[in-house]
Amino acid sequence: MAPTSLKKKSRAQTIHRGIQLAFLLWSMVSLSWLANSVRTQNVADELLRSSNDLTVLHRTTTLDFLPRKRRAASALVFICGSGIHPEAYAPLLRPIADLGYPVFTIKLPYRFAPLDSHKGQAVARVRKVVSGHPEITHWVIAGHSLGGALAARVAHTTEGLHTAFVLIGTTHPKEDDLSGIGAPFTKIYATNDGIAPVDRVMASRALLPKETNWVRIRGGNHSQFGHYGHQLFDGEATITREAQQAITRGALLEALRGKAIATQPFLHSE
């Protein structure tokens, strides 16, 4: 082979190896960023430990906060968002259990529930929790992001139960018509949410019951519903994480008490 051809071949191989190396580095950086964006952050250890008044159970499929003295026969099932550990929701949910309501946090299979079969497993986990506690007469099924979409899916399978649903930071239901389901619904959305933007949230309005309670969090975003990093494409919040979660927690408590939230939604000034 001529020297010129050898040089061209060597240059092409060098360029090809360079492209491969650049792609590998880009993949590693992207995966590291993604892992960090959904990593649980700033959750105090004591929130994940049992106390004199409350038992914390770290199970294979759930993270449970169980008050030793129940306030009422109501309980909350909360489905995690895609990629988010249940511990990231402890600051939002443990105060609810401290008030006497059992809280069962559903883990998603493989954290992201990537396949439809995995989503079906998550729904089955909700059903297992509900069927395993016949002493509970009023359930609130809630979820954030993908968890909200799965809560909407659960709504098709809870006939005969006294159940309320709280969908948080999700554009679902997108296709399933839940408008005729005889259960109270609450839809919580944040004005700066880049993952579930307001226009897409409102696009599903006709698929929910007319009596749905709409909770608008002005200045909130998607990531601040939990305690984890800033997700790709999310907007910047103009209120604190604590303020956003306090509004969300208030809506969950109203659902647990079996009360309508209000004629007007919760608002928070920017």
Q: What is the CATH number for 60?
A: 3.40.50.1820
Whether 223 is in a domain gets the answer yes
pLDDT score for 26: 39
Which token pair is 108? 């998603």
Residues 89 and 222 in one domain: yes
Residues 26 and 48 in one domain: no
Residues 33 and 147 in one domain: no
Which token pair is 252? 């969950």
| Distance between start and end Cα atoms, the chain | 71
Per-residue pLDDT reduced to its tens digit, 223-241: 999 999 999 899 999 999 9
Count structural domains, the chain.
Answer: 2
Residues 60 and 191 in one domain: yes
Residues 27 and 48 in one domain: no
pTM of the complete model: 0.85
Whether 270 is in a domain gets the answer no
Residues 108 and 236 in one domain: yes
pLDDT in 10s for each residue of the chain, 270 residues? 566 665 666 666 666 665 665 555 534 444 444 555 678 999 999 999 999 999 999 999 999 999 999 888 999 999 999 999 999 999 999 999 999 999 999 999 999 999 999 999 999 999 999 999 999 999 999 999 999 999 999 998 766 568 999 999 999 999 889 999 889 999 999 999 999 999 999 999 999 999 999 999 999 999 999 999 999 899 999 999 999 999 999 999 999 998 643 333 333 333
Residues 20 and 115 in one domain: no
pLDDT score for 207: 96
What range does the domain containing 156 cover? Answer: 44-256
Which token pair is 253? 């408590």
pLDDT score for 157: 72
Residues 96 and 23 in one domain: no
